[in-house]
Amino acid sequence: MVPIIVIQNLSFTYPDGKPALRDINLQVQPGEKIGIVGPNGAGKSTLMYHLNGVFTGQGKLFISGLELIKNNFPHIRSLVGLVFQNPDDQLFSPTVFEDVAYGPYYQGLEQSIVKDRVQQALKAVQMSDFIDRNPYHLSTGEKKRVAIATVLSMQPEILVFDEPTAGLDPRARRELIELLFELPQTMLIATHDLALIKQLAPRTVLLSKGRIVADGPTNAIFGNETLLKENGLI
């Protein structure tokens, strides 16, 4: 199968001189669900932000065979939906409708199609009744769902989540995991929530100090106590 994501020798240093990613090599097959784990500061978020060009480091990235270079950004951003850790970074409109419509509208889709996309996306996250609400007044769990809808409305092939369960109460967390389980897209999930990965992701990539230190079946990685301890995961 042709990989849907190819990352070759990706390194990235923040402007203050701090290396955050070092020689990352990763291939993802269509439909895979992959957990990205590692201690604070390992580079998880930085890696996620590279997948649709929020950051660009040294090395090469390909999404569905398309190289991640400036000319391809609009196309790639419709293929890769990035869900930020904090939904307040994703929601900025006076109504849920406008936030979820933003992506497809920006893609230049016709108004009736945009409306359909919004309805479909809100239905998928079970937030249809919230279409006219102000996103700022929702609970964190509801905001998270709407934030996911803002990327689903673009009908992306790949979903990238940064700490999707952070800040959720147990029920909201469980419902979110059920939702992620139902979504068919290829998924990368950066998280500290090891139980989430065990439930959702057959493959795990372990990052430490900007490097991939393990990449394999989730069961094997989670069964390796020494590896988990060495990397501050338990």
Ligand X SMILES: Nc1ncnc2c1ncn2[C@@H]1O[C@H](COP(=O)(O)OP(=O)(O)O)[C@@H](O)[C@H]1O
- Closer to Mg ion by CB, 11 or 107: give it: 11
Torsion 75-76-82-87 (CA) sign? negative
How many CB atoms lie under 10 A from the CB of residue 97?
19
Binding segment for ligand X (CB under 6 A), chosen from 37-45, 75-83, 103-111, 126-134, is 37-45
Instruction: Give yes or no for residue 46 binding Mg ion (CB under 5 A).
Output: no
Q: Give the one entry of Mg ion, ligand X, none that residue 90 binds, where binding means its C-beta sits below a cut-off of 5 to 8 angstroms depending on kind.
A: none
Tokens coding 140: 């964190």
Distance CA 178, CA 44 (A): 23
Task: Give yes or no for residue 45 binding Mg ion (CB under 5 A).
Answer: yes
Site track 25-44 with Mg ion (rule: CB under 5 A), x = hit: -------------------x
Q: In Å, what is the CA distance from 117 to each residue of 56, 110, 180?
A: 30, 11, 19
Which one of ligand X, Mg ion, none interacts with residue 41, CB within 5 to 8 A by kind? ligand X
CA distance 138 to 90: 13
Q: Pick the closer one to ligand X by CB: 35 or 43.
A: 43
In the list 4, 10, 44, 189, the residue contacting ligand X (rule: CB under 6 A) is: 44
